[in-house]
Amino acid sequence: MRSGEPRPVVSSHVLDASALLALFKRESGEIRVRSAIHAGAVVGTVNLSEVVAKLVDGGLSEQAIHLWADGLAVAVVDFDRNLAYAAGALRTPTRHLGLSLGDRACLALAQRLRLPALTADKAWAALHLGVAIEVVR
């Protein structure tokens, strides 16, 4: 994964942590996530951190996580001040679904880049935030 802003020509989707975890665990939706990555998906640093935490909880070493994650052709976008405000502002319209900071960070990035958010979280299908949401399973 590359740090910084994604290459604008090839961006297709913003990946939620749940989408990357579905890929890692080879769960339902894995093929859709792989397709999005092949088309040039991006992930935010907050969601990358969520993935790392889950994999560490599962017993993987940081080295193994780096080998897997760095091997993905996914651009990594830093969570900056503007994304912090945008994610915070999404609290009210997402509260009824109990979305986390990581969820809202993903959605804020998708809004900024005007790209669909790709997630394995079925609850997101009920959101109407002016951003396309694709549930992989």
Q: For the chain, which domains are there?
A: 14-135 (3.40.50.1010)
Its pTM stands at 0.90
Whether the per-residue pLDDT at 4 is higher than 60: the answer is no
User: Under 8 Å CB-to-CB from 2, ≥6 apart: which residues?
Assistant: 74, 75, 76
pLDDT tens track for 83-126: 999 999 999 999 999 999 999 999 999 999 999 999 999 999 99
Residue 11 in tokens? 């961006």
Beta bridge partner(s), residue 108: none
Please check whether residue 28 is in contact with residue 137, taking contact to mean a CB–CB distance below 8 angstroms: yes
Among candidate residues 25, 2, 7, the one with its CA nearest the CA of residue 72: 2
